[in-house]
Copies of this chain bind each other. A is one copy, B any other.
Amino acid sequence: MWLRTSCDMTFNISVPTPFILMLRLRCGAQQWVGREEYRLKPSVPVFEFTDNYGNLCQRLTAPPGAFGIYTAAHVRTADQVDQSPGAPFVEIEYLPNAVLGYLLPSRYCESDRFGQMATEIVAGQQLGYDQVKAIESWLRASIRFEPGDCDIPVSAVEVNMRGWGVCRDLSHLGIALCRSLSIPARLVVGYLYGLHPMDLHAWFEAYIAGHWYTFDATQPELRSGYVVIGYGRDAADVAIYNQFGPPVYPITQNIQVLMIEEKDA
């Protein structure tokens, strides 16, 4: 399946404002970027680097005035998202070094506070994939998904207390529950074809049987159409933009995901 994704944001900048963007798509096992556009208005010098999680990040200073960021891509994604009921838990001692960090608590995923609760949610499940599937189902049943934006990110503990959240919040709670069971889990930010209302999206992955599997409690079932922008321990690591100094917010933001023909890709 070929998708055309785009993200168009405008900011109104009052003082020169340093940004770190994370809007360059990555190619991975599940997606191939065949075409990409990345435009800044006005053009400013940009330095790109790879962060600790393998994401491509762009550093720049936005000048005062209107500042526009436009990215678009043609991406081939897998027709089926991998699922693997029964896939076994990986014992800690066999986890790759690079995966260990995804076991630790992080800003929005206080996994050190969820041991008891996670154990109850996954009671009776086989260790591994089925546990995470039970967590995803529990989230779907217990935490109300409210699409839309939320200026102040809240943590898994807070989401759990208030009982509702945006996509990012449900993912944070899912991640915290997984990690409290010693299952490595990470946040993914990206696009989802057919998301309604259309917006940037967040979901989570858990490391089971040597692979990262996709989970998303905001959707009734797992379907194809996910396009990854970046990975991280939680939203603190994987913001599509981090901005420093007096806070600025997008005054316009337009996200699109369209299906295209391979011949037009």
Which residues of A pack against B, CB within 8 Å? 18, 20, 26-29, 32-40, 43, 45-52, 54, 56, 58-59, 61, 76, 91-93, 97, 100-101, 103-107, 109-110, 112, 152-153, 182, 236-237, 242, 244-245, 265
Contacts and interface: CB of A to CB of B under 8 A. Distances in A.
A54 B46 contact: no
Query: Quick one: which of A18, A20, A104, A107 has the most chain B CB within 10 A?
Result: A107
B91 A18 contact: yes
Contacts of A26: 48
B47 A28 contact: yes
Contacts of A28: 47-48
Question: Which of A33, A49, A237, A265: most chain B CB closer than 10 A?
Answer: A49
Contacts of A54: 49-50
Contact of A236 (B52, B93, B106): B106
Interface SS of chain A: helix, strand, loop or mixed?
A: mixed
B33 A38 contact: yes
Nearest to A245: B182
A104 B37 contact: no
**So how many copies of this chain end up in the complex?**
4
A151 to B, nearest CB: 11
B39 A101 contact: no
Contact of A34 (B20, B38, B45, B153): B38
Nearest to A92: B18
Contacts of A51: 97, 100-101
Nearest to A76: B43
A93 B182 contact: no
